[in-house]
């Protein structure tokens, strides 16, 4: 029923031409366009892949032809090379290319002769204990070494062998010489050496035992284990080497690491000489007279305690002084000459003398006599506390130079 007086409602929303059916047609058209684009790109990609495949096939065919062409040549070369080492091969630095095993062995024996003659050495702190190869039955097993090298050279597949030969790149055969030795003799050598390897610390000292001055350097105390040293020795031999760096388990440093002596005097009774040194450098040497067998000059390490110019001689009551005055003043009749150097050992003096006939002999009453001119030259270098070593003879000093004197 319609109310009288009211207006009908009118929908004013505009409907685009075509309506909903038109929008569905547009969407279907866009989908078909994207489909055709994708199909076109796929076709282009497929054509590119076909081109790549053709190129690969052509390249493979060319390589196959080349391989088939070279293969008979490489195969023939490989077959003809059996029984000989490859070109460029070497054993322990010895070139053996194109040689038979017998030829290679002979060449290795010549080339490694110097290596075979090297002694086995144990080394530590600059000290060396050595033994000859013959003493321990140490030999290079040339036959085994060549056999192993030959097997390594040819123990590869045929393709690798042919390629290596074509490019002249032989397989590396670097390995140490194969050696044999007597285990018991090596063990005995190491065991003998242990008594010297293991040692107490040694202080630095001045060695005058030979009649010349030599500074002996300090040395650490060392401790090594026999089994470790033997193991290191066996490892070195297995590597074809001959020098063993001894492994230590303990070190003990010395108390005196250097000799602090500057200038000092060395008297050699056997040679009748007095030498002036600055450390181990000889500055001057003079002939002297030393004590007689009845009145020997005391040996050992001493020190200067007094120096006198134009000294007075004093009678100390010895038996040979019984008929002499209590003292003799400086002058021509003084037994000490013009210079006297007193030591702290047994009343010994180094002094001049006018009894020149006694120089070079052992006829004094214990003192060390010098020509007047010589003692005056020496006197200019002497100082209080200066060390004075007096030895019996070269090689027989009469005391242990490595130990400090009792009075220090």
Backbone angles phi, psi at 45, to 5 degrees: -60, -40
Rounded distance between C-alpha atoms, residue 159 and residue 179, angstroms: 34
- In the chain, what is the straight-line distance between the N-terminal and C-terminal CA atoms, in Å? 149
Rounded distance between C-alpha atoms, residue 381 and residue 371, angstroms: 16
The DSSP symbol for 169 reads -
Rounded distance between C-alpha atoms, residue 218 and residue 227, angstroms: 27
Residue 22 annotated in active site: no
- 126-149: b or e for each residue (b if 16 or more CB lie within 10 Å)? eeebebebeebebebebeebbeeb
Residue 199 annotated in active site: no
Q: Which of the following is catalytic: 365, 367, 381, 401? A: 367
Q: Which of the following is catalytic: 92, 289, 351, 365? A: 351
- Which residues neighbour 295 within 8 Å (Cβ) at sequence distance 6 or greater? 320, 364, 365, 366
Are 231 and 265 spatial neighbours (Cβ–Cβ below 8 Å)? no
Six-digit token string for 227:
């089994």
Q: Among all residues, which ones are annotated catalytic?
A: 351, 367
């Amino acid at each position: 029923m319609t109310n009288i007086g009211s207006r009908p409602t009118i929908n004013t929303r505009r409907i685009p031409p075509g309506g909903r059916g038109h929008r569905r047609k547009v969407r279907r058209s866009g989908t078909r366009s994207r489909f055709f684009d994708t199909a076109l790109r796929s076709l282009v990609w497929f054509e590119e892949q076909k081109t790549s495949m053709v190129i690969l096939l052509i390249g493979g065919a060319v390589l196959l032809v080349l391989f088939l062409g070279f293969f008979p040549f490489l195969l023939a070369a490989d077959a003809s090379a059996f029984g000989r080492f490859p070109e460029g091969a070497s054993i322990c630095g010895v070139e053996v290319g194109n040689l038979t095993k017998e030829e290679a062995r002979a060449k290795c024996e010549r080339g490694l002769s110097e290596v075979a003659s090297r002694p086995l050495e144990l080394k530590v702190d600059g000290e060396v204990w050595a033994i000859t190869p013959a003493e321990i039955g140490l030999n290079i097993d040339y036959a085994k070494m060549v056999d192993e090298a030959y097997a390594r050279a040819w123990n590869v597949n045929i393709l690798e062998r042919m390629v290596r030969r074509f490019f002249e790149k032989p397989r590396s055969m670097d390995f140490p010489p194969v050696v044999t030795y007597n285990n018991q003799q090596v063990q005995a050598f190491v065991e003998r050496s242990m008594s010297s390897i293991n040692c107490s610390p040694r202080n630095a000292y001045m060695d005058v035992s030979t009649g010349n001055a030599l500074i002996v350097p300090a040395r650490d105390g060392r401790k090594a284990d026999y089994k470790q040293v033997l193991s290191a020795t066996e490892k070195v031999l297995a590597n074809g080497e001959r020098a063993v760096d001894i492994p230590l388990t303990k070190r003990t440093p010395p108390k005196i690491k250097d000799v602090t002596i500057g200038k000092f005097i060395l008297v050699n009774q056997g040679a009748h000489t007095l030498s002036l040194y600055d450390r181990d450098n000889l500055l001057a040497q003079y002939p002297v007279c030393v004590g007689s067998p009845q009145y020997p000059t005391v040996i050992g390490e001493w020190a200067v305690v007094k120096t006198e110019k134009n000294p007075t001689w004093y009678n100390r009551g010895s038996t040979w002084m019984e008929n002499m005055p209590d003292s003799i003043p400086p002058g021509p009749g003084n037994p000490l000459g013009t210079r006297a150097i007193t030591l702290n050992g047994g009343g010994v003096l180094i002094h001049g003398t006018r009894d020149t006939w006694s120089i070079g002999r052992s006829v004094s009453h214990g003192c060390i006599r010098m020509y007047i001119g010589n003692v005056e030259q020496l006197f200019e270098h002497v100082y209080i506390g200066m060390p004075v070593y007096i030895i019996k003879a070269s090689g027989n000093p009469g005391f242990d130079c490595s130990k400090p004197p009792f009075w220090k």
